[in-house]
Structure 1
Amino acid sequence: MEPVDVRVEVLRPGRTIELVEARLTAGGRTIVIARAWLAQRTDTAAIADSAFPRLPEPSSMPVEDLAVVWPGAFVASLGARRRQAEPGRAVAWLSTDVPLLEGEPVSATAAALGLVDTTNGTTPRLPPDRVAFPNLDLTVHLFREPIGGPVGYDVSVSFGPDGAGLTQAVLHDAEGPFGTSAQTLTLRQR
């Protein structure tokens, strides 16, 4: 690990909506750009609902060792339960005991977002030794804040005919769906 620099800037200030950007740089090179629209919260509990179906309880799904397919300490730290309907289509629950920032408290939202990038590898359409499919981006939309604990995914992966793909997921916690994610993929046959 090398030292990194984080710069946060308000790109569009506002009383009810603002756009904030964070840039992570290492060695003078920007390696991550994160943008978030921050909106004023209001009480809509009386109309809160979602048409997304709930996932099965984690305990009803088989334990999966994702490290069999994917190398690395991060993947090895994951606890996973997964049910795959077909290549590129699965439901899963993931968790980790490794804190997002060692010795620092983080919100349930930050902890959930720390896991969301794994949706792309949760249900590959083809084995990674046949095709690489790194994501170019990650977009997350939340309609409520997660409560913490394992993060559930209802994941679909699509490969197009010209080197592009898409991973989409509905995100869940123990109370049900809380948002969606999408990742643009670049496909590279091996």
Structure 2
Amino acid sequence: MELPSALYLPTAEGFTATALTIGPWDPGLQHAGPPAALLAREVERASGIPGGQTVRLNFDILGPVPVGPVRISTTVVRPGRRVELVEAVLDAGDGRPLMRLSAWRMRTRTEGLPSAVEGSTSATPHPAPADVHGSTPGEAAFFSSEVAYHKALQWRFASGSFNSPGPAAAWTRPECTLVEGEPMTPLQHLLVMTDAASGISAVLDWTTATFANVDLSVALHRPPRGEWLGMDAATVLGDSGAAQCSAVLFDTEGAIGRSTQSLFVEPR
């Protein structure tokens, strides 16, 4: 089976999503991970801080994103040489916003930084119970399309799995690019992956309930590095139709940040 080489194909007006963006709920709708990464790509392209790092990304999912043409507009909300706030909005060509990203970016430096206070933690090892090579390959059984989001990344589980309920820790590596003709950056890879935190740590049966997230928030204390990235995720189900997923994000060098998602839960 030959997979598309990218999640998106560039067009004159924006991008066209390939089958690798298909989500688990409807074959005509995208998983939120790929458009989240596409929004982050556009934020960095609009940035006025060359070589800066994106430290916080807040995504609002305003509506389902169809598998097809999309376009993105960007605005520098708060310009600055050291710190800036950039917003990006995605629509399907009709002007109706479907996803929105608000991202803080900061200037980077490698010299003259203060040292951490003695006894504090300035760097932590990755929290996965097993490294990449000691983890188990896994594949989601609940996608209705053979070629879909779950094929965009290679998955290795250090604990848990796609197909069993409860917390899980997984490593991933890209099997495609984000946009055809250019490499996928570690930050783009992280965002393609991280929206699946609530999927790998599901506490409900995919066949009897929906638990789609309405947002995704990612906070990073340093940029991701390397080809393998991971997340250690857990979901807590409330008693009134809501759930919350949180994850520690890491690469092979250690933890890099955290993510949260608010989930709307209802019977299928």
Which amino acid in structure 2 is aligned with residue 50 of structure 1?
A: A
Cα distance in 2 between the residues matched to 1:154 and 1:45: 29
Whether the 8 Å CA contact 1:165–1:187 is kept in 2: the answer is yes
How does the TM-score come out when normalised to structure 2?
Answer: 0.65
SS of 2:198's equivalent?
helix
Alignment pair present for 1:79 and 2:146:
no
Deviation at 1:46, TM superposition (A): 4.8
- Greater RCO, CA 8 A, separation 6+: 2
Which amino acid in structure 2 is aligned with residue 152 of structure 1?
A: G
Alignment pair present for 1:116 and 2:183:
no
Distance 1:94 1:57, change over 3 A: same
Gaps of 5+ in 1: none
Cα distance in 2 between the residues matched to 1:88 and 1:157: 7
Whether the 8 Å CA contact 1:109–1:148 is kept in 2: the answer is no
Deviation at 1:22, TM superposition (A): 0.8
* Equivalent residue number for residue 42 of structure 2: none
* Equivalent residue number for residue 127 of structure 2: 54
* Equivalent residue number for residue 17 of structure 1: 83
Distance 1:60 1:106, change over 3 A: closer
Alignment pair present for 1:41 and 2:108:
yes
Q: 1:91 aligns with which of 140, 161, 169?
A: 169
Gaps of 5+ in 2: 1-15, 17-67
Percent identity over the alignment? 32
Q: 2:98 aligns with which of 24, 31, 37?
A: 31
Which amino acid in structure 2 is aligned with residue 60 of structure 1?
A: G
Whether the 8 Å CA contact 2:174–2:189 is kept in 1: the answer is no
Give per-residue Cα distances to partners, 1:152-184, cap 9 Å, x unaligned: 111110110111111100011111111111111
Number of matched pairs: 189
Whether the 8 Å CA contact 1:95–1:115 is kept in 2: the answer is no
Deviation at 1:185, TM superposition (A): 0.3
The root-mean-square deviation of aligned C-alpha atoms, in Å, is: 2.2
Distance 1:105 1:169, change over 3 A: same
SS of 1:110's equivalent?
helix
Deviation at 1:53, TM superposition (A): 5.1
Deviation at 1:119, TM superposition (A): 1.1
SS of 2:249's equivalent?
strand
SS of 1:54's equivalent?
coil
* Equivalent residue number for residue 107 of structure 1: 185
Give per-residue Cα distances to partners, 1:89-143, cap 9 Å, x unaligned: 1111122311111112343212222221111111210221121100000110011
